[in-house]
Structure 1
Amino acid sequence: MSSHPFRVADALAVLGAEFAEHTVAINEQGDRIGYRQWGERGPVVVLLHGISSSAASWLPCAQVLSQTMRVFAWDAPGYGNSTPLEQAEPRAADYAVRLQAWLSVLQVKPGAIVGHSLGALMASAYVAEAPAAMQAKCLLLLNPAQGYGQPGQEEKSRTVQAQRLATLGQLGIDGMAESRHAHLLRPNASDEERAWVHWNMKRLNDGGYRQAVAMLSGDDIGAYLRKRPASTPARVACGDVDGITPPQGCAALAETFGLPFALVPSAGHASYIDAPDAVAGWIEQAVLSHSRNA
């Protein structure tokens, strides 16, 4: 798909045939994770979507990665068929507990964890706490959301949460998908690419989205990155025309933690949809360069 103009009909056909949904119970309580898997050999790459998305949204990028890696993309708790978290206002560490349980059940150790947007908070929380046997070989933060839970950000945190929930209350999931989907992509994205984002956004669950808003409003990616093991390298990338997590903020995060930073050309916030080949190449290069690490 990545070498031809993107078409939603083609994507849905490939989704059903090659990147189909599975669900697995992850604990004795019967909590479940819905996920998609592609690729038969190579390092394991785990893909974590953002607040307005799903495992399915990774399809164009996963198709490229699956040629050299085993790709696992989850629907976060409260998304798709994944059981919501118990907490009304969870933190990224709560999502990371589910992530570790899911990977343990699948018996896979991640070669790389890629967190996009809100997924970057979850990925950072995972790396901060994962035992050595389950630790990722590298952490990749793509268009990372940094959260509004830092000290001194209390007013901003309340504002973000109130605005997000007011929009949900006024528009509902369908209305949000209609009004917001184009903002995730580069300005000159095709109608079909926008329709793909719209298709994914319409599948959000009200309760799961509210939990994710609480996490975005109340958490801080820096708190997890400060706990990252020195043996687990990390990198940051951002679409060069991202208006949601702008390049300047992503570059500043990378500089704060001494991490390599890359711009994804001609890409907005959903950079892995705008530029799937470039993002897959960034992931592959990172995994290859760190594959010699223990």
Structure 2
Amino acid sequence: MDMAQPPIPTTRLQQCFPERLVTVAEGARVAIRECGQGPVVVLLHGIGSGAASWLHCAQRLAGDYRVIAWDAPGYGRSTALPEGQPRAQHYAARLEALLQALGVDRCVLVGHSLGALMATAYASGSGARRVARLVLLSPARGYGAEALREPGQRVRRQRLDSLERLGIHGLARERAARLLGLNPSEDALAWVRWNMARLNPAGYRQAVALLCGDDLLGNGLPTAPCEVHVGEEDAITAPEDCGAIARALGASFSLIPGAGHASPIEQPEVVAGRIAHAQRLVLEGTAHAKA
């Protein structure tokens, strides 16, 4: 290892947020990382990341909650989806199979970036009864709406061309800094690169198909209360675009100071605090309902 580079917290990852494989319907496997006990928080990562990216948030939540983060289908050791051009409902179906296998009846569901598209589809469909509250971080709307098809085709070509030209490791070197704010720490930059460098090309291509072919606002409205948060320096999913998504969903909206797109890495204490607050609202609502 180059000693000039910031240390990557892989030992802490293995000890505090260990990985295991869960077999779900039809023999598919889902790699998850899990820690803590109590009310359940489920974390869905974005297109250029993985379950490990939630480490620092998970550590802050584990004292009070059971935290589960998946590697989405086609990421890490998770079985890819059979569909060549999957849509959000296909990822949602795999998530439903996972939560069934884990015995999770209710949760706060958190989706970051492309994970927000998956989470919204799940909370609006098969998972409506399991999702007590939906938290979207820098949600990617997707390009599936008719008015967005043309830019979506350009994004698809750019993403796939970059993958072909640079490979996964080159993609990580080129794109990592864009995911962070104006003054990122070297540790945050290294952690974003480390997670991105572990993408699987086939799974990434499927995720690009989702991004460019589906629409977060086209899969129905979630029945659970929803909130949207975005880094104030996000250059990927701009605050004004995330605000528009919040209004369309009837969700609350707030900024995350000092963060770009990868807020769970750049500002984990703030993000964990927002998630914990969402879980407290659920618990307070449950207590009031029983009173």
Partner of residue 254 from structure 1, selected from 246, 253, 261: 246
Alignment pair present for 1:168 and 2:163: yes
Partner of residue 56 from structure 2, selected from 60, 80, 85: 60
What's the CA shift string for 1:15-49, capped at 9, x where partnerless?
1112111001101x311000000102x21000000
Alignment map for 1:105-144 (pairs within 5 Å): 105-130=101-126, 134-144=129-139
- The whole-number CA distance in structure 2 between the counterparts of 1:233 and 1:118 is 19
TM-aligned CA deviation for residue 193 of structure 1: 1.3
Alignment partner, residue 172 of structure 2: 177
TM-aligned CA deviation for residue 108 of structure 1: 1.1
Alignment map for 1:276-287 (pairs within 5 Å): 276-287=268-279
Partner of residue 28 from structure 2, selected from 28, 31, 56: 31
Runs of 4+ that moved beyond 4 A: none
Alignment partner, residue 227 of structure 1: 221
2:46, 2:113 within 8 Å by CA — same for their partners in 1? yes
Alignment map for 1:1-150 (pairs within 5 Å): 8-9=7-8, 11-27=9-25, 29-40=26-37, 42-130=38-126, 134-150=129-145
- The whole-number CA distance in structure 2 between the counterparts of 1:8 and 1:221 is 36
- The whole-number CA distance in structure 2 between the counterparts of 1:235 and 1:204 is 28
Corresponding letter in the other structure for 2:110: V
- The whole-number CA distance in structure 2 between the counterparts of 1:8 and 1:264 is 26
Corresponding letter in the other structure for 1:20: P
- The whole-number CA distance in structure 2 between the counterparts of 1:82 and 1:271 is 24
2:227, 2:252 within 8 Å by CA — same for their partners in 1? yes
- The whole-number CA distance in structure 1 between the counterparts of 2:270 and 2:173 is 27
- The whole-number CA distance in structure 2 between the counterparts of 1:111 and 1:93 is 19
2:116, 2:140 within 8 Å by CA — same for their partners in 1? yes
- The whole-number CA distance in structure 1 between the counterparts of 2:249 and 2:197 is 36
- The whole-number CA distance in structure 2 between the counterparts of 1:193 and 1:209 is 22
SS of the residue corresponding to residue 71 of structure 1 reads strand
- The whole-number CA distance in structure 2 between the counterparts of 1:118 and 1:136 is 18
What's the CA shift string for 1:219-267, capped at 9, x where partnerless?
000022x3322xx100000000000001110011112222100100000
Corresponding letter in the other structure for 2:77: N
- The whole-number CA distance in structure 2 between the counterparts of 1:279 and 1:152 is 32
1:8, 1:193 within 8 Å by CA — same for their partners in 2? no
1:46, 1:110 within 8 Å by CA — same for their partners in 2? no
SS of the residue corresponding to residue 177 of structure 2 reads helix
Alignment partner, residue 209 of structure 2: 214
- The whole-number CA distance in structure 2 between the counterparts of 1:194 and 1:227 is 35
Corresponding letter in the other structure for 1:148: Y
Alignment partner, residue 185 of structure 2: 190
- The whole-number CA distance in structure 2 between the counterparts of 1:235 and 1:160 is 27
Specify whether residues 13 and 131 from structure 1 end up closer, same or farther in structure 2 by C-alpha distance, changes over 3 A only.
closer
2:104, 2:130 within 8 Å by CA — same for their partners in 1? no
- The whole-number CA distance in structure 1 between the counterparts of 2:100 and 2:13 is 25
TM-score (norm 2): 0.94
TM-aligned CA deviation for residue 121 of structure 1: 0.5
TM-score (norm 1): 0.93
Gaps of 5+ in 2: 1-5
* Sequence identity percentage: 49
Q: Which moved more, 1:150-159 or 1:140-149?
A: 150-159
- The whole-number CA distance in structure 2 between the counterparts of 1:208 and 1:37 is 22
Gaps of 5+ in 1: 1-6
Equivalent pairs counted in the alignment come to: 281
Corresponding letter in the other structure for 1:202: A
